[in-house]
Chain A
Amino acid sequence: MIITHLKPEEEVARSLDGVRALFIVGCGLCATSCQTGGEKEVSAWTEKLRARGLTVTGSVICDSPCDERLVKRDFAANKAAIAAADALLVLACGVGVQVSADVAEKRAVPALNTSALAKIQRIGVNQEYCRQCGDCVLADTAGICPVTRCAKGLRNGPCGGAHDGKCEVETDRDCAWQLILKRLTPADKERLLALRPPRDHRKQGQKP
């Protein structure tokens, strides 16, 4: 799940300088699950913008605002309302904002901050699990990602600062390396004595 958080209303308002009419785009996937870009939040923003004297020409909750094909389909069904707007207010991750801007060829203002690719534990409680490094090491690390879940992204073992099994940096988080070493078999641990090479940063965001 891509984790998003609502930006403060005043910050969004500052980005709307010169805008009079807006079309609102929500997200039917991640931002709905995060309760940041679903039906409820789109209506709340409609009210907020109207209260600020702005016109809301319409809204749509895209099935998947990160999929250009679906956005084209959803925007085509709202052609007139989008044409009447000076800008889009997008309640989706950074991908959704950019796809919306590309498809509508209009200024798109983000209403959310995008923070992580994470596991959702319960509403509002999530933990980042993947940094999309493009070179997955989970086979060697007992299914626990040290790139993401170790605060320093250490690839070769623990730092020695953990306290009662918790990370010295993110004290509410388990030390990833303690979890890894606990879960590994003695034979797997022996293999981990060999140096795990540094990350190849070219792989992040790269095509396969």
Chain B
Amino acid sequence: MKLTDLAKSGKPLLTAEIFPPKGTNLARVLAKAKLLSPAIAAFNITDSQRAVMRLSALAISKVLRDAGYLPIYQLTCRDRNRIALQSDLLGAAALGIENVLLLSGDHPKHGDHPEAKPVFDLDAAHLLDVARGLMAGKDMQGNALDGRPDFCLGAVVNPTAEPMEHQLFMLRKKVMLGAEYFQTQVIYDVAVYRQFLAGVAALKLPAMPLVLPSVLLLKSAKMAERMAQVPGIRIPESVVARMQGAADPLAEGQKICAELIDELLGLAPGAHIMAINCEELIPDILARCKKL
């Protein structure tokens, strides 16, 4: 099922992230999917996120699909040249994966293999165009394919990056290249997200893409302080202060997360929920949301 079709049901569309393991043990991945389903409609499988080497996202996508879950296969340009990227996209299609999220990827410099060659033969814009080409039955060289993929193409956008105008430019470009849905960078400032949506509306795109804002559970005051330093993330001082003043910071983090989801669901058709290594708390967070 394509994410864009799923969104048509009218119910808030919730997605969550699943990190492939560093190793071959799939028990945790399957346990997480079981715990979060069916509240979470689709699982984003990250591609060695933060440039930390992990088991293949394509393999996990297939495993989850076989287990009856809906995977969103993330594919980055960081580790593969155009031959490998096309090859993996065809592989994903042949394995029955319909939702892909295409991104440039984090630079290896800050990952766990900093000496690795940063490939970036293509960028995220190219990759969207390439995927669209494959869907039309042609590879990048115009060679005909025997059997073509039918993907719902996803991309990323950062509504809180400054200046916002540049991100709106990229969103517009990616839509023109076939992106049907977007997953955003983590949102803590709903006012900024509202401004971003106004900016998107002002682009007067022929068709509005599905945009799922991301929320990330704050687990401690320290994490909130650290997030404030992360490039491209804006977190209001009031949120940091709430975490710093809380007697039980994890509980406060869950409360903030639920409030954010509620506020964002007033603006968006769904949300992407992240709770790095605390996914078992997501059902509790969702239970606190008034809009669900």
Contact = CB atoms under 8 A, between A and B. Distances in A.
Interface of A: 151-164, 166, 168-169, 171, 177-178, 181, 189, 193, 195-199, 201
User: Among the interface residues A151, A164, A195, which one has the most CB atoms of the partner chain B within 10 A?
Assistant: A195
Contacts of A154: 104, 120, 123-124
B82 interface: yes
B231 A168 contact: yes
A157 B169 contact: yes
A16 to B, nearest CB: 27
Contact of B126 (A161, A162, A195): A195
Interface in B170-185: 170, 172-173, 176-177, 185
A161 B173 contact: no
B291 interface: no
A193 B104 contact: no
A21 B104 CA distance: 51
Contacts of B125: 155-157, 195-196
B129 A195 contact: yes
A164 B165 CA distance: 15
A161 B122 CA distance: 18
Nearest to B77: A152
Nearest to B170: A157
22 contacts: A151-B107, A152-B107, A154-B120, A154-B123, A157-B170, A158-B170, A160-B161, A160-B167, A160-B170, A160-B232, A161-B161, A162-B232, A163-B230, A163-B232, A168-B232, A169-B107, A169-B110, A178-B163, A193-B172, A193-B173, A193-B176, A195-B173
Contacts of B166: 157-158, 177-178, 181
A156 B161 contact: no
B158 interface: yes
B137 interface: no
Contacts of A160: 156-158, 161, 167, 170, 185, 232
A164 B110 CA distance: 19
Q: Which 9 A-B pairs have the closest CB atoms?
A: A160-B158, A163-B231, A156-B125, A168-B231, A169-B107, A160-B161, A154-B123, A161-B232, A152-B120
A190 B18 CA distance: 37
Interface string B176-217: 110000000100000000000000000000000000000000
Nearest to B163: A178
Given A157-B166, A159-B104, A162-B162, 4 more contacts: A152-B107, A160-B170, A161-B161, A161-B231
A70 to B, nearest CB: 35
Contacts of A155: 123, 125-126
B158 A161 contact: yes
B191 to A, nearest CB: 19
B109 A198 contact: no
User: Among the interface residues A160, A181, A195, A196, which one has the most CB atoms of the partner chain B within 10 A?
Assistant: A160
Contacts of B170: 156-158, 160
B259 interface: no
Nearest to B157: A160
B104 A152 contact: yes
User: Among the interface residues A158, A198, A199, which one has the most CB atoms of the partner chain B within 10 A?
Assistant: A198
User: Among the interface residues A156, A171, A177, A193, which one has the most CB atoms of the partner chain B within 10 A?
Assistant: A156
Interface string B258-277: 00000000000000000000
A153 B231 CA distance: 18
B189 to A, nearest CB: 15
User: Among the interface residues A152, A158, A196, which one has the most CB atoms of the partner chain B within 10 A?
Assistant: A152
B21 interface: no
A197 B130 CA distance: 11
Contacts of A168: 107, 231-232
Contacts of B176: 193
A202 B124 CA distance: 21
Contacts of A156: 123-126, 170, 173
Contacts of B12: none
A46 B209 CA distance: 67
A125 to B, nearest CB: 20
Interface in B64-105: 77-78, 82, 104-105
B173 A153 contact: no
B225 interface: no
Nearest to A169: B107
Contacts of A198: 82, 121-123, 126
B7 to A, nearest CB: 23
